Structure 1
């Protein structure tokens, strides 16, 4: 509880980044929405948190991914864009769930921006680089969500019998989060604010 309170006192991210995202930018950021489940996550800014927490972004990258430098970040993004976890998923299921890797790719890019390993221009370039493969693979947020959950399940199954077996939220929690994002009545869902076809139309201010 004390940790949450300390982070909550940071200035709101929108004060540092007051310009709203364009429709295309929001769509790209929304690729990481399945990963962003906790209350501190921002789903409508490039910055990954609702309040400024650069140290939190830095710690997360180091602890969860072993990323402590720009070179390591770039290498991880390159791996996720080329093969990622979907290569193993394909061997096991015959399906290559790009959505799982794309969500992680965007999440890591945003946190890299949050702690200064990427500047804003480079972060947007990284997000733009993943768009063609995602758009070429899926036709809706529902399809994207289904493949995200498949990739997540394969990833979790791979942790069984290892010291990391308890890592990550329970599958039921991930399922509920995706249902909320897909719920047409949920006005706070970035997927409702930036429908799937948004990225195929001209960009515009929001």
Structure 2
């Protein structure tokens, strides 16, 4: 006799957070779009997944960043905002790929919100804090993508020979190409053009 195991599907994030993001909010969330390549990643909500999975967000922060408390989360964000990985890249390459640190910063903030370490208002405040530096550094999503790839390349080189080998660079390249494709209607970078953050905010 066949035994059927029924597994409850997790609630959709869009159902729990039904109010669409404003243009500025989507733009800020989109800074982490290069980081989030998984099929279940949400790129149009503050919540990082398409379905609610708070425990997963907490486990990821603990496993990948050794973050287990709000204080540790805030400390990590402060480090990424101040120097991050770009300090090492500057010594090696003479440039500072802020985009890599900004993408990680936003990704960590969103996961911190998902697991309850940050309230929604605090999460948006954290995202707003990184915006001025990003806007000063880049003039388009293309420039942002180029520096993200540069930062990732330096990060990958530092991990050579370790058991935590990252995905091949080609995977990240393909993902960014999709985000930059003008025909990709699902790309948040097409939904929130780069210069939108410099104009008054509005609903979408």
- Scaled by the length of structure 2, the TM-score of the pair is 0.96
Partner residue, 1:93 = 93
Q: Which portions of structure 1, spanning 4 or more consecutive aligned residues, are displaced by more than 6 angstroms?
A: none
User: Is there any run of 5+ residues in structure 1 with no aligned partner, and where?
Assistant: none
Partner residue, 2:84 = 84
Partner residue, 2:17 = 17
Q: Deviations over 1:170-192 (max 9, x none)?
A: 10000000000000000000000
- How far residue 161 of structure 1 moved from its aligned partner, in angstroms, is 2.3
- How far residue 9 of structure 1 moved from its aligned partner, in angstroms, is 1.6
Partner residue, 2:48 = 48
- How far residue 76 of structure 1 moved from its aligned partner, in angstroms, is 0.1
- How far residue 94 of structure 1 moved from its aligned partner, in angstroms, is 0.4
Partner residue, 1:195 = 193
Larger CA Rg, structure 1 vs 2: 2
User: Is there any run of 5+ residues in structure 2 with no aligned partner, and where?
Assistant: 1-5
Q: Distance in 1 between matches of 2:91 and 2:181?
A: 32
Q: How does 1:1-206 map to 2 (within 5 A)?
A: 9-164=9-164, 166=165, 168-206=166-204
SS in structure 1 at match of 2:73: helix
SS in structure 2 at match of 1:32: coil
Q: Deviations over 1:143-200 (max 9, x none)?
A: 0000000000000000112333x1x211000000000000000000000000000000
SS in structure 1 at match of 2:31: helix
Q: Distance in 1 between matches of 2:40 and 2:105?
A: 19
Partner residue, 2:3 = none
Q: Distance in 1 between matches of 2:30 and 2:136?
A: 17
Q: Deviations over 1:100-154 (max 9, x none)?
A: 0000000000000000000000000000000000000000000000000000000
Q: Distance in 1 between matches of 2:145 and 2:35?
A: 11
- Matched positions, count: 199
Q: Distance in 1 between matches of 2:153 and 2:9?
A: 35
Q: Distance in 2 between matches of 1:132 and 1:89?
A: 21
- How far residue 59 of structure 1 moved from its aligned partner, in angstroms, is 0.4
Q: Distance in 2 between matches of 1:126 and 1:202?
A: 19
